[in-house]
Chains A and B, each alone.
Chain A
Amino acid sequence: MSDLRRIARAFGLSLAVACFGMAFGSSGGAAVEKYLPDGPNVPVVSLNEDQSGAAGLSPLPVPPPKGWDQESIWNMKVVGFNDNQGRPSSDDGWIENQNGRYILYMTNSPGAGLNPLTSKVENNGTSLIDVTDPAKPVFVHHIPTVSRGGATHVAVCGGNTLPHAQKNHWYMLRHDGSTNQEVWDVTNPAAPVRLNVIISGLIATHHDWWECDTGIAYTISQTKTDGWHETGSRQHVYIYDLSNPAKPVFIRQFGLVGQQPGADFATAKSCYNAPGPNCYEGITNPPGGVHQVYSAGVQKNRVYLPYGVDKDGLFQIVDRQKLLTGCTVPTASPNCANSPTQADLLYPQVGYITSNPNQGGHTSIPIFGVPIPEEQQNYLDGKPQKWDLLAVTSEDTTNNCLPQSWKNSVLIDITNDQAPWPIATLDVPQFPGDFCAKGSRFGVHEINRQIYPPYYGKLLIVAMFNAGLQVWDIRDPYNPRRIAYFIQAPNKNTATSCGTYQGNTHYCRKATFSDLGEVDDRGYIYNLDRAGSGVTILQLTGDALQVVTGQGRQGR
């Protein structure tokens, strides 16, 4: 390439980036803002529309999905694919930009399969897939587990962001089945090295959340002997300071009132109906185990915890600073860190909302500062209003819809987080698509956790199992509307699921089911399939793209 052409090309690229930055409100040239969990910031959500915002948009006609064996796609396009060695994905996944090299950390469900890179059958663990070129993802490495329980969750931080880590290194926090929580040095994705085991001897594990700018890690764990009580998933929160991943520092255990070791759950009464020194929060005694943690970091000073998974849900909001330092204040009990009292657990609690018994607490992700179109003028002080929202999900956990109720995601107004209030449900109906007869699970599971500023506060990517990824336009949070979807076709690796169908209690079907739709900082969307059908990389098109570019009709 000639120098002139190179300069022209570089200029063109810079111009495109600058225009993109202006369009999305980011400041070219200034220091790049670090969003959660790499920094304390969240993007500012600004309207692309006129002063009326996106109010009054009518629902779009959603095209019916195609047959069970065909891909169904609307306002999205497929960019790339990797088969993940046929390993079934799990609850989680993360895309990390490692100095310009994008690595997808794909979590895998329990099981085992052949790794063609080693020619060995390996217990499912964590797949590291290079997605720098999304059109040609490269499977780089598989970190198997020792246990056969898979490595179903993951969190990744860079050493340049962690306060006391080795610079220019990258670290992955995961669990090996239900047995431990461990940190790996993944600086070289082709040759990860286990750095240490944070905690072992566990009987339950689940999602991890790692604040990269502070190093605070929230792991979901349980030991045989820690004495905590939960209904359903037997797990609660263990908090560590992993600012230096090589030297973990335990901070405390945490959960809902009624779960602490000292609770007498045989005699406890509802805190709502009978507040007293021995009560339980929510409608189940003891309360259901926590499923995830999402910390909004130092600036927002809130931590969000959903309890209950698929029924009897409760969504708790906690003061982050009080949570982390609560066991060091003078009023804390002597054993606060491991065996807190009811007062110790209540100290950081800001508020909570209980769902109906048919819905659980699987996910709760805050979205701060969402413009409310109806209140851009004429209400309150006449100035544009922005609310804080909490996007929550339950989880469908049975095949063919039986014997559970319809599971969807919900938007909750948490502007006043002592008084959360649901404002909209993101309903994906059984028909068209006949999802309850398609095989595997139908219903909500997960929402994207990574922040891509143009999507923030405007689009939500909701994994609906066999109904694929459903993208929602939430610019008018009172009236969210479906604007894109992707339902993967089965392939040669897609697993079969057996369940009750039309009276036959053991009927098997081959069906994909999306576990998670995650995004990277380039806007690519990753569909991770729990039936072993691989990862599909997607881009938005049409009306969905117009929501974020501010171009054209924006779906009107």
Chain B
Amino acid sequence: MTAKSLLPAMALALCWFAASTGYCANGTADPTQARDFSAATLVKVTPGQTTKAQIEALLGKPWRTTFADDSDEPGPVVWEYRGENANGTYRVHIEFDSHDITALIAEIPDSTGEAPARVAKTPPVPGKP
């Protein structure tokens, strides 16, 4: 086996060891692993203002992308993150409007399976942050 062929295996091994901390070898968060999104971080998300790009910069790539299911047709885009802290595991659920601005964010503990969401106080104006 050549050194070149060993590189992918080494990268994979690094990622494997790093997975327990939720980070891969390149320093980006592994979205499949639960992480602690602190309250101080999540409060920076302002419905009606925070863009999708800002969410990604703040929280990393989502674990899963879906669409809100409240009609026969696909609704707003939803980004989901797996969270974990001293109180247990939880889900961060973020819905975007058609302009890729956060419309709703909720932190839902797995233990209760429910939580109220934070939403924009007034409907966001298209094109304005």
Q: Assess the B67–A110 pair: CB atoms within 8 A.
A: yes
Q: Are A233 and B72 in contact (CB under 8 A)?
A: yes
Is A110 within 8 A of B66, CB to CB?
Answer: yes
For the residues of B in contact with A, the DSSP-based class is: strand
**CB of A395, distance to nearest CB on chain B (Å):** 7
Contact A509 B114 (CB under 8 A): yes
A506 touches B70 (CB 8 A): no
Could you say which of A88, A398, A505, A507 contacts B71, with CB atoms under 8 Å apart? A398
Alpha-carbon gap, A103 to B31, bound state (A): 29
Which residues of chain A from 472 to 517 have a CB within 8 Å of any chain B CB?
490, 492-493, 495-499, 504-511
Number of interface residues of B (CB under 8 A): 32
Instruction: State the total of A-B contacts with C-beta under 8 angstroms.
Output: 103
Cα separation A111 to B114 with both chains bound (whole Å): 22
With A and B bound together, what is the CA distance between A150 and B106 in angstroms?
25
In the complex, what residues of A have CB within 8 A of residue B80's CB?
A: 495-496
Is there a chain A Cβ closer than 8 Å to B10's Cβ? Answer: no
- Chain A residues with CB under 8 A of B91: 496, 510
| Distance in Å: Cβ of B67 to nearest Cβ of chain A | 5
Question: Which of B70, B82, B116 has the most chain A CB atoms inside 10 A of its CB?
Answer: B70
Q: How far is the CB of B24 from chain A (nearest CB, A)?
A: 11
Instruction: Check B113–A498 contact: CB distance below 8 A.
Output: no
Selected contact of B67 from candidates A109, A440, A504, A508, CB within 8 Å? A109
A109 to B68, CA, bound (A): 10
User: What does the 1/0 interface line of B67-110 toward A look like (CB < 8 Å)?
Assistant: 11111111000101010000001010101000000001010101
Our pick among B70, B74, B108 for the contact of A110 (Cβ within 8 Å) is: B74
Take A439-B113, A495-B80 as given contacts and tell me if A506 and B104 are in contact as well, using a CB distance cutoff of 8 Å.
Answer: yes
Cα-based distance from A384 to B115 in the complex (angstroms): 57
**Whole-angstrom distance between the alpha carbons of A493 and B104 in the complex?**
20
Q: Which of A150, A496, A532 has the most chain B CB within a 10 Å cutoff? A: A496
Measured CB to CB, the closest approach of chain B to A176, in angstroms, equals: 14
Say whether A508 contacts B115, CB under 8 Å.
yes
Q: Are A495 and B116 in contact, CB atoms less than 8 angstroms apart?
A: no
With contacts A506-B119, A510-B91 taken as known, whether A309 is within 8 angstroms of B69 at the C-beta atoms is no
Complex Cα distance, B68 from A4, in Å, reads 60
Q: Which of B72, B89, B110 contacts A395 (CB 8 A)?
A: B72
Chain A contributes a number of interface residues (CB within 8 A of B) equal to 43
- Nearest chain B CB to A429 CB, angstrom units: 22
Structural contact, A499 and B70, CB atoms closer than 8 A: yes
B116 A507 Cβ-Cβ under 8 A: yes
By a CB distance below 8 angstroms, the chain B residues around A110 are 66-67, 74
Check: A302 CB closer than 8 A to any chain B CB: no
Cβ A88 vs Cβ B113 within 8 A = no
Residue A69 is within 8 A (CB to CB) of chain B in the complex: yes
- Quick check: A309 and B72 within 8 Å, CB to CB? yes
Interface pairs A-B: 8 shortest CB-CB = A510-B113, A111-B66, A506-B117, A508-B106, A112-B65, A397-B72, A509-B114, A113-B64
Query: 25 A-B pairs, CB-CB below 8 angstroms?
Result: A109-B66, A110-B74, A111-B66, A112-B64, A112-B65, A114-B32, A232-B72, A233-B72, A233-B73, A397-B72, A398-B70, A490-B113, A492-B82, A492-B89, A492-B110, A495-B78, A496-B80, A496-B113, A498-B68, A498-B70, A507-B114, A508-B108, A509-B108, A510-B114, A532-B64
Interface residues of B (CB under 8 A from A): 31-32, 61, 63-74, 78, 80, 82, 89, 91, 93, 95, 104, 106, 108, 110, 113-117, 119
Known: A233-B72, A398-B70, A510-B114. 9 other contacts (CB 8 A): A69-B113, A86-B64, A397-B72, A492-B82, A497-B69, A507-B117, A508-B93, A508-B115, A509-B113
